[in-house]
Amino acid sequence: MKSALIWDPALTGYFFHPDHPFNPKRLELTVSLIEAMGLVDGGDHRVVPPRAATDAELLRVHSPEYVDAVKRMSVRCAAGEAWEWGLGTDDTPVFHGMHEITSLVVGGTIRAAELVMGGEVTRAFNVCGGLHHAHRDRASGFCIYSDLAAAISWIRETHGARVLYIDYDAHHGDGVQGIFYDDPNVLTLSLHESGRYLFPGTGFVDELGDGEGFGYSLNLPLEAFTEDESWLDLYRKLLPEVAEAFRPDVIVLQSGCDGHTLDPLTHLRATTRLYEETTRITCEVADRVCGGRVVATGGGGYSVWRVVPRAWTLVWAALSGQEAPDAIPFGWLSRWQGESPDLLPERLRDPEGAFDPVPRRDEIEATNRRTLESLRRQALPLLRGWGLGF
Partner 1 sequence: MLVKNRMTRDPVAVSPDHTLAAAQQLTQEHRIRHLPVVSGGELVGILSDRDIRSASPSTVATDEPGRAEFLGRTSVAEVMTREVISAGATDTVEDAARVLCRHRIGALPVVDAANRLLGILTETDVLHAFVEMLGASNASTRLEVELRDRPGELARAVRIVGEDLRLNIGSVLVPPMRERGNKTAILHVATIDPREAIAALEAAGYRVGWPSLEADLRRPAEGPAR
CB-based burial label for 51 (10 Å; 0-12, 13-18, 19+):
middle
Contact residues toward partner 1 (CB under 8 A) are: 21, 89-91, 133, 140-142, 171, 174, 196-202, 224-225, 261-262, 264-265, 267, 271-272, 306-307, 342-343, 345-347, 350-351, 354-356, 358-360
Q: Which of 133, 172, 192, 260 is catalytic?
A: 133
- Is 308 within 8 Å of 30 (Cβ atoms)? yes
Considering the complex, what minimum distance in angstroms separates the CB of residue 189 from partner 1? 20
C-beta closer to partner 1: residue 161 or 315: 315
The DSSP code for 351 is P
Between 89 and 378, CB nearer to partner 1 = 89
Answer for the pair 124, 82: CB distance below 8 angstroms, yes or no: no
Name the minimum Å distance from CB 370 to partner 1. 18
Whether 20 is catalytic:
no
**288 vs 347, beta carbon nearer partner 1:** 347
**Which of 106, 307 has the CB closer to partner 1?**
307
| Residues 52/107, Cβ–Cβ less than 8 Å | yes
* CB closer to partner 1, 197 vs 330: 197
Sheet holding 294-297, edge to edge: 45-48, 3-6, 123-126, 294-297, 250-254, 163-167, 186-193, 217-222
Shortest distance in whole angstroms from residue 219 CB to partner 1 = 15
**Which alpha helices (DSSP H) does the chain contain, by range?**
25-36, 55-59, 64-75, 98-117, 147-159, 174-179, 228-246, 272-289, 308-319, 330-336, 361-383
d(CA 104, CA 51): 6
DSSP state of 213: G
Least separation in angstroms between residue 246's CB and partner 1 is 27
Rounded-to-integer distance, Cα 358 and Cα 88, Å: 38
Nearest distance from C-beta of residue 196 to partner 1, angstroms: 7
| Positions marked active-site | 133
